[in-house]
């Protein structure tokens, strides 16, 4: 089965919406890494119902008028990836989770890295909100759309990202610990 696609402009750049039949199967970023999401042949179709509805709902989301999406989804991945993507769908608007929290929800604390890898391959970005997943110390972590897009999506949802650059934490004690690792001669009262 061919995949139909529609291009839309958004505050985070041009997005490619992809459907398989009457289900949304991917939202790709303007500068998405080739092969991050495996798809078959893509055919332009600006009139496919699910693509038009997804575009409408995304416009409402970007305008701050929508907090949940209601389009039929089809995830293509391993069973574990599908479990992680289902956990993403359960993260409420305006909240974040850490990779460890998701691993615990799935019943395996040791799967933190696997959760991160599955999160990075999430084919339906924004709707399956991988942007709501942050590092254990509150830092922003890698994001297929780029950290600027992650910050913007979190800001739309009212989540402050100040001091949350990649590798930069919001807990001053953790910052002090990080500085000590960089300079073992630095004294600390922690």
Positive/negative CA dihedral, 167, 170, 171, 175:
positive
Catalytic residue, candidates 84, 88, 130, 156: 130
Three-state SS for the chain is CCEEEEEECCCCCCEEEEEECCEEEEEECCCCCCCCCCCCCEEECCCCHHHHHHHHHHHHHHCCCCCCCCCCECCCCCHHHHHHHHHHHCCCCCCCEEHHHHHHHCCCHHHHHHHHHHHHCCCECCCCCHHHEECCCCCCCCCCCCHHHHHHHHHHCCCCCCCCCCCCCCCHHHHHHHHHHHCCCCCCCC
119 or 183, which is more confident: 119
Q: Both 56 and 86 in a single domain? A: no
- Averaged over 4-23, what is the pLDDT? 97
Paired residues of 43 in beta bridges: 4
Q: Both 85 and 138 in a single domain? A: yes
The domain of 23 spans 3-62
pLDDT at 179 over 50: no
pLDDT at 11 over 90: yes
The reported pLDDT for the residue numbered 163 is 62
- Averaged over 142-171, what is the pLDDT? 77
Q: Both 36 and 111 in a single domain? A: no
Global pTM value: 0.83
Percent of the chain predicted with pLDDT > 90: 72
Q: Both 58 and 85 in a single domain? A: no
The reported pLDDT for the residue numbered 30 is 92
* Each residue's pLDDT tens digit, 57-76: 999 999 999 999 999 999 99
- Averaged over 7-20, what is the pLDDT? 97
pLDDT at 183 over 80: no
Let me know: does 55 contact 89? Beta carbons within 8 Å.
no
pLDDT at 167 over 50: no
Domain membership of residue 180 (yes or no) is no
- Averaged over 129-138, what is the pLDDT? 92
pLDDT-derived band at 153, boundaries 50, 70, 90: very high
The reported pLDDT for the residue numbered 1 is 66
- Averaged over 51-56, what is the pLDDT? 98
Residue with tokens 């100040």: 162
Positive/negative CA dihedral, 21, 26, 27, 28:
negative
Q: Both 90 and 46 in a single domain? A: no
The answer to whether residue 145 is catalytic is no
Torsion, Cα 141 147 150 151, to 10 degrees, reads: 110
Question: In CATH, what number is assigned to the domain containing residue 23?
Answer: 3.30.160
**Can you tell me the distance from the alpha carbon of 24 to that of 20, in angstroms, rounded to the nearest whole number?**
6
Total domains, the chain: 2
- Averaged over 9-22, what is the pLDDT? 96
pLDDT at 182 over 50: no
């Amino acid at each position: 089965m061919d995949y139909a696609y529609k291009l839309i402009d958004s505050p985070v750049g041009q997005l490619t919406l992809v459907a398989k039949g009457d289900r949304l199967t991917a939202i790709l970023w303007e500068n998405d890494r080739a092969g991050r999401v495996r798809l078959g042949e893509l055919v332009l179709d600006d009139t496919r119902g699910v693509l038009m509805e997804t575009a409408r709902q995304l416009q409402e989301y970007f305008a701050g008028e929508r907090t949940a999406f209601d389009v039929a989804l089809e995830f293509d991945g391993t069973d574990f990836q599908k479990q992680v993507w289902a956990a993403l769908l359960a993260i409420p608007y305006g909240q974040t989770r850490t990779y460890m929290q998701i691993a615990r929800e799935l019943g395996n604390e040791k799967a933190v890295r696997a959760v991160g890898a599955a999160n990075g391959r999430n084919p339906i970005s924004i709707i399956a909100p991988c942007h709501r997943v942050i590092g254990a110390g509150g830092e922003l972590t890698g994001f297929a759309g780029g950290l600027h897009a992650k910050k913007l999506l979190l800001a739309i949802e009212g989540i402050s990202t100040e001091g949350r650059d990649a590798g930069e934490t919001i807990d001053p004690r953790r910052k002090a610990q990080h500085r000590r690792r960089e300079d073992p001669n630095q004294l600390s009262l922690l």
